[in-house]
């Protein structure tokens, strides 16, 4: 025995609610404009940040290079002098270096006295920072260049060659870096704000022209159609996807209007005849009438109806579609599905089996489950398939048998609007196979049980069922040499189909 189970979950609804919460009441064109504005802000902010960082690094590097060069020049000059150093000569030399490079704020020479303490030997400043003594001490101690910086200044110390107790220190101010950063931010803001505003306005106008107005025209036509005006048409002509939707919508409405007139005419003519003959002849007359209507209308109306329904569902399920438009699209889709269901039911009832072939019942069940899976997911219905191993093949018209089984599954789903469990099983029975479709709905009402498989018998509300579905299923099963029955159990209804195996004697019609 193979058993597979699928549980449907409504994660899509959570995503749509989240998006609606972020942008309550905002149109699709407005959301697109906001999205473009956020992208522009992100790009401009990123570029500005990277440019400012690069600019600051360049200025900082230039300042440090100037300090390093000034300290090295001072150290080399002192190293080249006589062993005896005159503080006044050294101070004059330091002033000359400072005047030669305006970037340098202070140049100092630090020495170590007999007690190991560091003191200023000569400097271009009358007051020396404690940080200068620290960085000079590191340079003298390690005999290597040393650097230090505070938020306001940066210092580079160079040990004096051949004079181990001296070090030259050059100090540069970092105010220029801050001024450059502030100036860059002012320039960036002056450029970014107008750019963002212009791009946002342009994106909004473009989105409203390309998306907002066409969608409004389509929705307006759908609203008029939902209100009962089958002559409503959209005048939009475009060579893109929205233009295709508008064209197909107009085509579907043309077909729908013609079908509505033809259907009323045919039903009115046939009703006068149905009242004058017995039930069997009346049923034959209705089938003939429905067959004629289906032949003239169903093939032409079915394709545009399905196509428009697909586009309506795509726009409705788009997270960017607001709730008001989604509600209107749901109304239009409900009407389309109703017309499509009536067309398909009439066409199926008039169609005869086209040919029998040897098939596996498990393949038919799998295809039916695959077709019904989207609705199972939307309705939060758990499905289970149970197929016994080693089942014999059957002779069947695959299309008709799939249609009959799908009809039973659809009825089971209609009986469980708030979710439930659907079980499709197949097992060996006598000289053939028994199929069962069980649901956890309210069961079959007693008042309709005796005529359950008769035409026009239905428990669905007016406008939601034709009463032909189970009659079609019965005729299909009988054409395959089988039988169908139903019964209620404590937790729902069960429909049973018995079909002969391919090797069993049976009559196929």
Statement: residue 433 has pLDDT above 90: yes
d(CA 438, CA 415): 11
Statement: residue 12 has pLDDT above 50: no
Of how many residues is the chain composed?
509
Written out in words, the top-level CATH class of the domain with range 355-509 is: alpha beta
pLDDT at 435: 92
pTM for the structure as a whole: 0.36
d(CA 48, CA 190): 12
Does the domain at residues 28-216 carry the CATH identifier 3.30.450.20? yes
Statement: residue 434 has pLDDT above 90: yes
Span of 96-110, 186-200, 408-422 with lowest mean pLDDT: 186-200
Mean predicted confidence (pLDDT) in 320-328? 81
Q: Find the DSSP H helices in 210-360.
A: 213-226, 241-274, 279-293, 299-317, 323-350
d(CA 85, CA 275): 134
Mean predicted confidence (pLDDT) in 375-385? 85
246, two tokens: 């508008």
Say whether 479 sits in a helix, a strand or coil: helix
Please, which pLDDT band fits residue 280 given cuts at 50, 70 and 90? very low
The rounded Cα 3 to chain-centroid distance in angstroms is 32
CB within 8 Å of 71: residues ≥ 6 apart: 107, 145, 156, 157, 158, 168, 169, 170
* Alpha-carbon separation of residue 422 from 79, 91, 373, 380, 492 (angstroms): 97, 99, 11, 11, 10
pLDDT digits (tens, 9 = 90+) for 43-87: 777 777 777 777 778 777 888 888 888 888 888 888 888 778 888
Mean pLDDT estimate for the chain: 76
Which residue bears the tokens 């997911």?
A: 377
Cβ pair 422, 439 in contact under 8 A: yes
pLDDT digits (tens, 9 = 90+) for 443-460: 888 887 777 777 665 666
Of 247, 249, 234, 404, the closest CA to residue 312 belongs to 249
Domains 28-216 and 355-509 share a fold: no
Mean predicted confidence (pLDDT) in 223-249? 77
Statement: residue 127 has pLDDT above 60: yes
Mean predicted confidence (pLDDT) in 396-420? 86
Percent of the chain at pLDDT > 70 equals 77
pLDDT digits (tens, 9 = 90+) for 332-368: 877 677 677 666 665 655 555 556 888 888 988 988 8
pLDDT digits (tens, 9 = 90+) for 457-487: 566 655 555 566 778 888 888 888 899 999 9
Query: Domain ranges in the chain?
Result: 28-216, 227-351, 355-509
pLDDT at 347: 60
Compute the chain's Rg from CA coordinates. 44
pLDDT at 352: 53
Give 508 or 230, the one with higher predicted confidence. 230
* Alpha-carbon separation of residue 22 from 28, 29, 31, 205 (angstroms): 13, 15, 10, 22
Statement: residue 8 has pLDDT above 50: no
Statement: residue 206 has pLDDT above 80: no
């Amino acid at each position: 025995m193979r058993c597979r189970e699928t549980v449907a979950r409504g994660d899509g609804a959570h995503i749509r609610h989240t998006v609606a919460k972020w942008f309550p009441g905002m149109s699709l064109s407005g959301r697109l404009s906001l999205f473009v504005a956020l992208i522009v802000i992100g790009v401009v902010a990123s570029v500005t940040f990277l440019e400012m960082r690069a600019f600051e690094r360049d200025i900082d590097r230039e300042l440090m290079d100037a300090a390093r060069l000034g300290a090295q020049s001072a150290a080399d000059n002192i190293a080249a002098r006589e062993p005896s150093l005159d503080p006044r000569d050294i101070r004059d030399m330091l002033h000359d270096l400072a005047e030669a490079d305006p970037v340098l704020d202070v140049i100092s020479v630090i020495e170590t006295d007999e007690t190991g303490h560091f003191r200023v030997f000569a400097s271009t400043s009358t007051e020396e920072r404690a940080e200068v003594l620290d960085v000079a001490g590191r340079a003298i101690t390690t005999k290597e260049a040393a650097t230090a910086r505070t938020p306001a200044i940066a210092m580079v110390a160079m040990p004096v060659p051949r004079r181990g107790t001296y070090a030259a220190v050059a100090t540069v101010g970092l105010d220029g870096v801050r001024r450059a950063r502030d100036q860059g931010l002012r320039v960036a803001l002056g450029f970014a704000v107008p750019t963002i505003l212009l791009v946002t306005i342009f994106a909004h106008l473009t989105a409203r022209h390309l998306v907002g107005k066409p969608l409004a025209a389509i929705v307006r036509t759908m609203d008029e159609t939902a209100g009962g005006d089958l002559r409503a048409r959209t005048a939009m002509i475009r060579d893109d996807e929205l233009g295709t939707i508008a064209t197909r919508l107009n085509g579907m409405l043309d077909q729908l209007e013609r079908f509505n007139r033809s259907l009323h005419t045919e039903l009115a003519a046939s009703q006068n005849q149905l009242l004058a003959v017995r039930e069997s002849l009346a049923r034959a007359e209705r089938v003939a009438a429905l067959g004629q209507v289906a032949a003239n209308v169903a093939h032409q109306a079915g394709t545009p109806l399905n196509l428009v329904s697909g586009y309506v569902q795509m726009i409705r399920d788009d997270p960017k579609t607001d709730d008001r438009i989604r509600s209107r699209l749901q109304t239009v889709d409900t009407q389309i599905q109703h017309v499509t269901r009536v067309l398909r039911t009439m066409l199926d009832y008039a169609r005869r089996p086209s040919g029998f072939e040897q098939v596996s019942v498990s393949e038919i069940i799998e295809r039916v489950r695959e077709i019904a899976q989207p609705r199972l997911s939307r309705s939060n219905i758990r499905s289970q398939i149970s197929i016994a191993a080693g089942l014999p093949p059957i002779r069947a018209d695959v299309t008709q048998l799939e249609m009959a089984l799908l009809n039973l599954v659809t009825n089971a789903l209609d009986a469980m609007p708030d979710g439930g469990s659907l079980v499709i099983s197949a097992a060996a029975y006598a000289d053939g196979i028994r199929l069962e479709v069980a649901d956890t709905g309210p069961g079959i009402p007693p008042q309709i049980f005796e005529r359950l498989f008769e035409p026009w018998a239905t428990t669905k509300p007016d406008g939601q069922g034709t009463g032909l579905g189970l009659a079609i299923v019965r005729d299909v099963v009988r054409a395959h040499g089988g039988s169908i029955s139903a019964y209620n159990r404590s937790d729902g209804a069960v429909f049973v189909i018995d079909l002969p195996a391919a090797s069993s004697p049976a009559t196929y019609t």
